[in-house]
Amino acid sequence: MKGSSWWRGRAKKRAEDAREQVQEVIPDPENFEVRIGVLSHAHAVLDPSTTIGPEPLHVPLTGYNVYVDVEASGGLDVVLLGLRAGVLGRRPMQPSGLSLVPQAGPGLSYDRELEEVYRRARARYQPMLVPDVEVFLDETPPLVRPALDGQGMPVVPDFRLPMRIAAGTARRIVLAPHTEDRGLVEWHLVAYVTCGDYGAGLNWGLMVTAETKMRTFHPDGTETATPVHDVAPHWRVAWPPTGSG
């Protein structure tokens, strides 16, 4: 499916769809490397099955971090021309539970047998980062734009595309995908880069959902789905695509 793009130019080569949630791509190892990674503090957990596979599937919740690390490892500058997103598919899902990264706080305690697990988790703790870019997967086509604050201003004022990464340096771009779909949303991210006379559109498959398996009960007797931002420090959209704030 087509998506919105900051692509300014034409890639000479398109990489194959990696279909991996965490993937390293080395299109030109002599001059540059592009890596992608995911950080989520909340995952919907799907039990093993004939469709899921032999291992549980952990689907990151909306507002998680996607990192695109671009390193100009050779003697040439690298230019990140643009980013594009597309939805590959949507399907219902019935997660068995929610997996959360433990957060430190007053009064938080664990049973003795869980203390060591908690200690190891805290040692590996990585904070969520403020995104440079928001990806709205429920828009048609998906919208890729700078992350905006409540006044509609970029939260990272110096972020611009195209972006030049000087030879011998590296840059991390942080994206936050957003959906209100409580099913499983499969999507892909495309990064367009050039280095000298080499150009590529690098493509990664990813997943997201808005389903937390939690519900909020209100004084008037109504019940609503609990958003991930109430239980984990995922990115909360402050300026919706309509500009209504």
| pLDDT tens for each residue of 128-164 | 999 999 999 999 999 999 999 999 999 999 999 999 9
Is residue 204 assigned to a domain?
yes
Give the tokens for residue 63.
């507002």
- Quick one: pLDDT at residue 16? 29
Q: Which residue range forms the structural domain that includes residue 144?
A: 23-230
Which conformational region is residue 20 in: left (phi greater than 0), alpha (psi within -120 to 50 degrees), or beta? beta
- Quick one: pLDDT at residue 155? 97
- How far is Cα of residue 38 from the mean position of the Cα atoms in its chain? 6
- Quick one: pLDDT at residue 99? 92
| Cα dist from 68 to 80, 126, 131, 174, 189, whole Å | 10, 16, 11, 6, 10
Query: What b/e readout covers 180-219, taking b as 16+ CB neighbours within 10 angstroms?
Result: ebbebbbbbbbbbbbbeebbbbbbbebbbbbbbeeeeeee
Tell me the C-alpha distance between 220 and 201, whole Å: 51
Is residue 237 assigned to a domain?
no
Is residue 47 assigned to a domain?
yes
Is residue 100 assigned to a domain?
yes
User: Is 43 in contact with 98 (CB distance < 8 Å)?
Assistant: yes
Q: Can you give the pLDDT of all 245 residues of the chain as single tens digits?
A: 333 333 322 222 222 232 233 444 555 657 899 999 999 999 999 998 888 888 989 999 999 999 999 999 989 999 999 999 999 999 999 999 999 987 655 545 556 666 666 677 667 788 999 999 999 999 999 999 999 999 999 999 999 999 999 999 999 999 999 999 999 999 999 999 999 988 889 999 999 999 999 999 989 989 999 999 999 999 999 999 974 44
- Quick one: pLDDT at residue 133? 98
- Quick one: pLDDT at residue 114? 67
Number of structural domains the chain divides into: 1
